[in-house]
A and B are shown apart, each in its own frame.
Chain A
Amino acid sequence: MDRRRINGPAGATQPPVFDDVVSQGAKTVSGRSRMPDASRKMYLKTGVTPSASGSAYLEMETSAKPGASGLKLSCSVHGPRALPRSAPFSPHIVLSTHIKYAPFATKQRRGYLRDPSERDLGIHLEAALRGAIIADRWPKSGVDIIISIVEGDQDRETSKSQGEEAWDMMNALAGCITVAAAALADAGIDCVDTVAGGVAALVQDGGADSTPTIVVDPIPSDHAKILAACCIAYLPTRDEVTNLWFRGDLPASDMDLYTHLVEKGILASRNANCVLTNCLMETIE
């Protein structure tokens, strides 16, 4: 128990349970309203935390459905600054990434301590950004990149969340990569290119026997079943991938399916990159 916070009642509290059970038993699929290759609209703004070296805020378009939330991220970058005297010498900038869901970000209330999935996201983000930052320009210094997931990409109405967290994590990671890139640019930290994140998924909408299709920027609740998904951090002008995270179940004999999925992931991150570049251009003007 954390004595430094207010913990509330000793007994365990339960999140509300709703009565319209039967209709919720089967996952209601609303279907996708966008074209397979279209990403959701994204709002990106830099300079939201004036006291930080750089900061950015990202918001994904909320779908028309009531109760569904779009991803909302706030990122602040502190540094580059001198490493503490006790730290060993580093010829490069020491990157530390921190991703935390706000307590009210998801259907279930989150605690204040980071759970393993949040740490895992942090490592993914670190890998994605380390490839983009020109790290040897700041020896002996460190930079902190902190992202608060103010609201996750979730549908409040679907009570069956089984297995969807993993796909939600991919969407969150893609957003984190994009927002962190904007904040890094705002902080004036040199990068080889603007990195942006994108997700593509292989989905099956019409029952178990239908042909799966590949969509860009998927919302898990839009689809009956997600067979595989990949999240990609991509540098467009160098045509390079700094982070690739794939998860799913694909037959190895079908390399094409995998290649297509990655191509679409790159497309998604290109879409995100357009927004990012526009946002940075606006700031300059």
Chain B
Amino acid sequence: MSSTNHVLLSPAELAYLHASLSLTPPIRPDGRAPTQFRPLVAETGILPGTNGSARICFADGTEAIVGVKAEVERTVVGPEGEGVIVEGGEGEVEEGGGEGEAGWVEMTVEIPGVRDDDSGTAFLAAMLSEGLLADEGFVRRLWINRRFHWKLYLDIILISPPLSYPLPLLSLTTHLALLSTRLPRLKSEGDEDPFFDDDWAAAPYLFPRPNGKSTTFVSQTRPPITLLVMAVGNNIIFDPSKEELAVADVALAVSVTAGSSSSQAPSKHVPMDTSTEGRNLRLLSIRTIDPPSRLTPPGVANAANSAYGANAGQKTTHEAQATAEGEAVEGVWRAPRGGAKRMVLGALVQKVLERGGVVDEVLDALEGVDLG
């Protein structure tokens, strides 16, 4: 799995990195602030043959492209469902309000040097599509009429070697590609075989643009973004590099989206001040990423190191064992054991969802990308 790629750092280096990341404020190897992202270059519309595409290049050299292709597909009205349609009659399903199915979106992730049936890739694809599908409004947009729907193929390709855990990169690229996705305008009406306007300029965006210049309040949903956050000690660090991830106590992938909830109930009591203070964020999915720190080699404390003569003689093995498994020694690296405290997990999620926080910053930045 890509997150568990071995990091070539010695136990001493790991201990040093861990210590500097645990300081308040943490000192990151590349001098970033804890919530700061790596600089990136983004562009959209790079693949003319697709309905939407994007490319993002991170400063560390990792680069991904995403292409979105849409095809018209006949809706397989489950033989069971047929009766319902007959019952329903005309006009019961309001325009564009049909139900969507998870199967209408197909996502493939390709990472160089990794077999396509690798579990890690399956995990990444599941994580990315999970966020997308958790938003019920999304698949509903693919509804054409009762007999047809759009089938969306998302091909996510990492074109550089996986230098760091590629999740944030892939997620941001997918987000941009979906933002730039346009579907041809429907000309047919009702349930007849669909035909479309061949004028590409008239094609509406899958995620409609905010009207006019009102960029402060965005009422429409946006595609989700998945952020990687990790905790070292009490510090919360966003967008960790590979080296930082190697000393993480816990790492989470959190998918969030902006916009009004399409599912009515739980968002009802959301305070109305959203329009002034950034977006109305929604939490879509969280997954624990198995931090590669668990696979790092442990350091040996002086007290347990017979080379230093500390414990010469027969009893070494026993005491060394006791030291190795006992209390941590200052400055000696030990792979984290056990899980994460509840409070830490809660704080991580809280930090991500903070109003006017990192998510808003990232979304603002992505909105600044020219969609061509």
Besides the contacts A119-B119, A240-B338, what 7 more A-B pairs have beta carbons closer than 8 Å?
A120-B119, A162-B101, A192-B337, A193-B338, A241-B339, A241-B342, A246-B287
Return the contact of B266 from the options A92, A235, A247, A251 (Cβ within 8 A): A251
A40 interface residue (CB < 8 Å to B): no
Restricting to A211-254, which residues have a CB under 8 Å from any CB of B? Answer: 211-212, 227, 230, 233-235, 238-254
B112-149 toward A: CB 8 Å interface, digit per residue (1/0)? 00000101101101100010011110000000000000
Docked Cα-Cα span, A3 to B312, in Å, equals: 62
**How long is the Cα–Cα vector from A166 to B284 in the complex, in angstroms?**
13
Given contact pairs A25-B81, A119-B123, A252-B256, A243 touches B297 in the complex (Cβ within 8 A): no
A50 interfacial contact with B, CB 8 Å: no
Given A131-B294, A136-B298, answer yes or no on A235-B256 (Cβ-Cβ < 8 Å): no
Q: Is the CB of A18 within 8 A of B80?
A: yes
Asked if B350 is at the interface (CB within 8 A of a chain A CB), the reply is: yes
Query: Does B242 make an interface contact (CB < 8 A)?
Result: no
B266 touching A266, Cβ below 8 Å: no
B341 touches A25 (CB 8 A): no
Q: Which residues of A contact B126 (CB under 8 A)?
A: 116-117, 120
Q: Are B339 and A233 in contact (CB under 8 A)?
A: yes
Q: What are 7 A-to-B residue pairs whose CB atoms are below 8 Å?
A: A25-B80, A120-B119, A136-B324, A212-B265, A246-B283, A251-B283, A258-B349
* B309: A residues at CB distance < 8 A: none
Does A280 touch B at the CB level, under 8 Å?
no
- Considering the complex, give the chain B residue whose CB is closest to the CB of A15: B79
Say whether, besides A22-B83, A163-B102, A255-B350, A242 and B288 are in contact (CB < 8 Å).
yes
Total interface residues in chain A, CB < 8 Å = 67
| A98 nearest in chain B by CB position | B119
**Which residues of chain B have C-beta atoms less than 8 A from A238's C-beta?**
338-339
Q: Which residues of B contact A247 (CB under 8 A)?
A: 130, 134, 284-286
Q: Are A22 and B87 in contact (CB under 8 A)?
A: yes
* Cα of A80 to Cα of B315 in the assembled complex, Å: 26
- Chain B: CB-nearest residue to A116: B122
Please state if B270 and A251 are interface contacts (CB–CB under 8 Å).
yes
Residues 327-346 of B contacting A (Cβ, < 8 Å): 335, 337-342, 345-346
Q: In the complex, are the beta carbons of A250 and B335 less than 8 A apart?
A: no
A25→B84 CA distance, assembly (Å):
6
Q: What is the bound-complex CA distance between A122 and B290, given in angstroms?
A: 12
Chain B residue contacts of A25, Cβ below 8 A: 80-81, 83-84, 87
Give every chain A residue within 8 A of B264 (Cβ-Cβ): 208-209
Q: Which 9 A-B pairs have the closest CB atoms?
A: A21-B83, A240-B339, A242-B339, A252-B281, A119-B122, A246-B286, A127-B290, A252-B353, A25-B84
User: What's the minimum C-beta distance from B136 to chain A, rounded to whole angstroms?
Assistant: 7
> Given contacts A116-B122, A208-B265, A251-B280, are A130 and B290 in contact (CB under 8 A)?
yes
> A227: which B residues are within 8 A, CB to CB?
263, 265-266
Residues of A within 8 A of B265 (CB): 204, 208-212, 227
B82 at the A interface (CB under 8 A): yes
Query: Which residue from A22, A136, A162, A249 sits with its C-beta under 8 Å from B263?
Result: A249
B positions within 8 Å CB-CB of A: 1, 78-84, 87, 99, 101-102, 117, 119-120, 122-123, 125-126, 130, 133-136, 252, 256, 261, 263-267, 269-271, 274, 280-290, 294-298, 324-325, 335, 337-342, 345-346, 349-350, 353, 355
A135 within 8 A of B: yes
Given A25-B84, A257-B266, are A248 and B284 neighbors across the interface (CB < 8 Å)? Answer: yes
Among A91, A116, A210, the residue within 8 A (CB) of B298 is A91
Contact between chains at B266 and A212 (CB < 8 Å) = yes
Q: What's the Cα separation between A261 and B101 when bound, in Å? A: 26
Closest partner residue, chain A, to B126 (CB atom)? A120
Residues in chain A near residue B102, CB distance under 8 A: 162-163, 165-166
What residues of A have a CB within 8 angstroms of the CB of B335 in the complex?
92, 135-136
Tell me if A160 counts as interface (CB < 8 A to partner B).
yes
Q: Which residues of A contact B274 (CB under 8 A)?
A: 253
A134 adjacent to B286 (CB under 8 Å): no
A160: chain B residues at CB < 8 Å are 78, 80-81
Contacts A119-B119, A238-B338, A259-B346 given: A245-B267 contact, CB under 8 Å?
Answer: no
A132 CB within 8 Å of chain B: yes
With a CB–CB cut-off of 8 A, which chain A residues contact B294?
92, 130-131, 135
Closest chain B CB from A90 CB (angstroms): 8
A245 to B274, CA, bound (A): 28
Are A17's CB and B290's CB within 8 A?
Answer: no
Are A239 and B324 in contact (CB-based, < 8 A)?
no
B125 and chain A: residue at smallest CB distance: A116
Q: Is A83 an interface residue (CB 8 A)?
A: no
Nearest-neighbour CB distance to chain B for A205, whole angstroms, equals: 11
A240 contact from B267, B280, B289, B341, Cβ within 8 A: B341
Which residue of chain B lies nearest to A123 when distances are taken between CB atoms in the complex? B123
A159 adjacent to B282 (CB under 8 Å): no
